[in-house]
Amino acid sequence: MEFGMFHEFQQPPGTDAAEAFRQSFAQVDAAERLGLDAMWLAELHFAPERSVLASPLILAAAIAERTKRMKIGTAVQVLPLCHPLRLAEEVATVDQLSNGRLIFGVGRSGFAHTYATYGVDYGESRERFAETLTIVKRAFTEERFSHKGKYFAYDNVRLAPKSVQKPWPEIRVAAASPDTYEEVGTLGHPIFVAARTGDLSELAPLVKTYRAAWAKAGHPGRGEVFLRVPVYVAETEEAAREEPRESILHLLRYIGDRLAASATASGTRAIENRAARGAKMQSIDYEEVLRERMIVGTPAGVIDKLQKVREELGLDGILAELNPGSLIPHERVMTALRLLCEEVMPRFK
For the stretch 300-313, pLDDT in tens is 999 999 999 999 99
In a structure prediction context, what are the per-residue pLDDT tens digits for the chain, which is 349 residues long?
999 999 999 998 899 999 999 999 999 999 999 999 999 999 999 989 899 999 999 999 999 999 999 999 999 999 999 999 999 999 999 999 999 999 999 999 867 889 999 999 999 999 999 999 999 999 999 999 999 999 999 999 999 999 999 999 999 999 988 889 999 999 999 999 998 767 899 999 999 999 999 999 999 999 999 999 999 999 999 999 999 999 999 989 888 887 766 666 656 655 566 677 667 778 889 999 999 999 999 999 999 999 999 999 999 999 999 999 999 999 999 999 999 999 999 999 9
Q: Is 3 exposed, middle or buried (0-12, 13-18, 19+ CB in 10 A)?
A: buried
Rounded CA separation 306/67 (Å): 27
* Backbone dihedral angles phi then psi of residue 214, each to the nearest 5 degrees: -60, -50
Distances (CA, A) of 107 to 95, 142, 174, 251, 334: 19, 23, 5, 20, 28
Taking each helix axis from N to C terminus, what angle separates 125-141 and 84-97, rounded to the nearest 10 degrees?
50
- pLDDT score recorded for residue 112: 82
Rounded CA separation 224/210 (Å): 10
Give me the DSSP letters along 313-331: HT-SEEEEESSTTS-S-HH
Q: How many CB atoms lie within 10 A of CB 20?
A: 21
Q: Which residues pair with 318 in a beta bridge?
A: 3, 227
* Backbone dihedral angles phi then psi of residue 321, each to the nearest 5 degrees: -85, 105
Query: CB-based contacts of 208: which residues, under 8 Å, 6+ apart?
Result: none
Rounded CA separation 85/10 (Å): 29
- pLDDT score recorded for residue 325: 93
Rounded CA separation 338/235 (Å): 11
| Contact assessment for residue 104 and residue 77, using Cβ atoms and an 8 Å cutoff | yes
Rounded CA separation 284/181 (Å): 26
- pLDDT score recorded for residue 49: 87
Taking each helix axis from N to C terminus, what angle separates 330-339 and 17-34, rounded to the nearest 10 degrees?
10
CA 103 to chain centre: 11
pLDDT digits (tens, 9 = 90+) for 129-188: 999 999 999 999 999 999 999 999 999 999 999 999 999 999 999 998 888 999 999 999
Confidence (pTM): 0.94
Rounded CA separation 127/262 (Å): 19
- pLDDT score recorded for residue 111: 76
